[in-house]
């Protein structure tokens, strides 16, 4: 173990905004006055050591409890917006989010199970529960030792050598999701997975099936949200791990091209679209198996079913040869995300028709409502919807320009 004194308080100041840096100084001062210790940890510290500005602020509290976290939140003028049974807290101070975890030990009763957690431990004990050496360091925020790094597993050395390395040989047995994270970090950071760690990945990769589908889904979504998602997936495929998650996924050139050019807009919608793209080539039986295995919600499942139906539709119907009303009839019942997924796999002419539907046809309303049709002499009943649908389709095809024309058409139907 290596606990040699390394201090990076200057770099800490350089990599954080002034607001965040000042906030962390206040946090450290407060915890020290209350006989506790506070550390910057995990990927947050790793990114600072790589001279990157961290996206998230992750802190570990030693010799403190929920009361201290509550008092700290009040001292900072913030509030606790989330608290879990695993001694974790999310604080909001102004517009800043800080994650605080009480130092804890984890014991795994069986491979892939959630750990039994105990708090009230040292920072070294807490670091031992983590995944890789590069994420198993802590930086003191207490004034007396501000900027000092605790590095019991030579994480700094692995950062310098661009290495992904597990802390102990049972790491992947304890938590097989770490296998997926190892691949993700390797590609994101452009690091190599060291030989011993790679050997353990191959030894324990089948254990991925021992963890819940919900946890696999969370890791898969994290992968799909990465800019280098296609490279990560190809690495997983090379190691025969993607086949463990879902057999028959085909990472062809088209899918990789789509992933490489994908632009994020909305997390939840994009998660639907990215998963739909990933399993686009699966048949409906495998899609349902995948959805049930990962505990996907009803919206996800509806989107994936619709995606498959539209794919079959586009194989049998030349959408680019249809008039507007026919395009509407073919697509109106399907979810937006499912249509978008199929757009990625369509030729330019079909894309133009899909865009026409999404940007114009989809939101078109009938020129007359039910009351207006009844006023023309119609009796309440199914005929009302039939006339409204007919008028809508005529409007879509440009045969009705205004209400007067719509009334003439409706009257003609009623007089038959």
What pLDDT, on the 0 to 100 scale, is given for residue 202? Answer: 97
User: Across residues 336-341, what is the average pLDDT?
Assistant: 96
Burial label for 320, CB within 10 Å (0-12, 13-18, 19+), is middle
Instruction: Determine how β-strand 96-102 pairs with β-strand 104-107.
Output: unpaired
What pLDDT, on the 0 to 100 scale, is given for residue 86? Answer: 76
Whether the per-residue pLDDT at 118 is higher than 80: the answer is no
Q: Please give the full DSSP string across 103-166, using - where no structure is assigned.
A: -EEEE-SSTTSPPEEEES--HHHHHHTSSBGGG--EEE-SGGGTTEEEETT-HHHHHHTTEE-B
The 10s digit of each residue's pLDDT in 65-91 is 889 999 999 999 999 999 887 789 999
The 10s digit of each residue's pLDDT in 222-251 is 999 999 999 999 999 999 999 999 999 999
- Under a CB-based contact definition with an 8 Å cutoff, are residues 208 and 179 in contact? yes
CA distance 313 to 319: 9
The 10s digit of each residue's pLDDT in 146-163 is 999 999 999 999 999 999
The 10s digit of each residue's pLDDT in 378-404 is 888 899 999 999 999 999 999 999 999
pLDDT classification of 1: cutoffs 50, 70, 90: very low
Q: What is the mean pLDDT of the chain?
A: 92
**pTM across the whole model:** 0.89
Q: Please give the full DSSP string across 234-255, using - where no structure is assigned.
A: HHHHHTT-HHHHSTT----HHH
Instruction: Determine how β-strand 58-62 pairs with β-strand 192-193.
Output: unpaired
Q: What is the DSSP letter of 378?
A: P
- Report residue 200 as tokens: 């353990």
Question: What stretch of H or E contains 231?
Answer: helix 229-238
What pLDDT, on the 0 to 100 scale, is given for residue 351? Answer: 96
């Amino acid at each position: 173990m290596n606990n040699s004194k390394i201090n990076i308080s200057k770099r800490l100041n350089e990599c954080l905004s002034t607001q965040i840096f000042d906030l962390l100084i206040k946090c450290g001062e407060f915890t020290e006055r209350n006989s506790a210790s506070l550390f910057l940890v995990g990927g947050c510290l790793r990114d600072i050591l790589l001279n990157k500005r961290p996206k998230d602020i992750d802190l570990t509290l030693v010799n403190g409890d929920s009361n201290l976290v509550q008092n700290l939140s009040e001292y900072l003028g913030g509030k606790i917006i989330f608290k879990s049974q695993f001694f974790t807290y999310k604080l909001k101070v102004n517009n800043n989010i800080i994650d605080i975890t009480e130092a804890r030990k984890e014991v795994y009763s069986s491979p892939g199970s959630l750990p039994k957690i105990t708090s009230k431990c040292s920072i070294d004990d807490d670091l031992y529960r983590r995944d890789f050496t590069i994420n198993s360091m802590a930086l003191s925020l207490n004034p007396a030792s501000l900027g000092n790094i605790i590095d019991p597993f030579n994480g700094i050395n692995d950062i310098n050598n661009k290495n992904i390395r597990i802390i102990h040989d049972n790491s992947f047995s304890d938590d097989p999701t770490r296998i997926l994270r190892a691949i993700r970090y390797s590609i994101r950071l452009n690091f190599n997975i060291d030989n011993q760690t790679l050997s353990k990945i191959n030894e324990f990769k089948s254990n991925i099936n021992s963890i819940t589908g919900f946890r696999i889904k969370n890791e898969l979504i994290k992968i799909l949200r990465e800019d280098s998602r296609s490279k990560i997936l190809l690495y997983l495929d090379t190691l025969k791990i993607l086949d463990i998650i879902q057999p028959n996924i085909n990472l062809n050139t088209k899918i990789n091209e789509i992933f490489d050019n994908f632009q994020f807009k909305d997390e939840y919608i994009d998660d639907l679209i990215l998963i739909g793209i990933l399993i686009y080539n699966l048949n409906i039986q495998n899609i349902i198996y995948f959805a049930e295995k990962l505990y996907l919600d009803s919206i996800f499942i509806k989107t994936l079913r619709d995606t498959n139906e539209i794919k079959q539709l586009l194989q049998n119907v030349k959408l680019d040869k249809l008039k507007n009303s026919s395009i509407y009839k073919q697509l109106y019942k399907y979810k937006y995300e499912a249509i978008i997924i199929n757009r990625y796999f369509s030729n330019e002419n079909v894309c133009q028709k899909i865009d026409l539907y999404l940007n114009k046809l989809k939101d078109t309303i009938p020129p007359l409502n039910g009351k207006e049709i009844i006023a023309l002499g119609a009796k309440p009943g199914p005929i009302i919807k039939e006339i409204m649908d007919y008028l809508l389709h005529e409007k879509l095809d440009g045969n009705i320009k205004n209400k007067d024309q719509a009334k003439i058409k409706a009257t003609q139907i009623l007089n038959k």
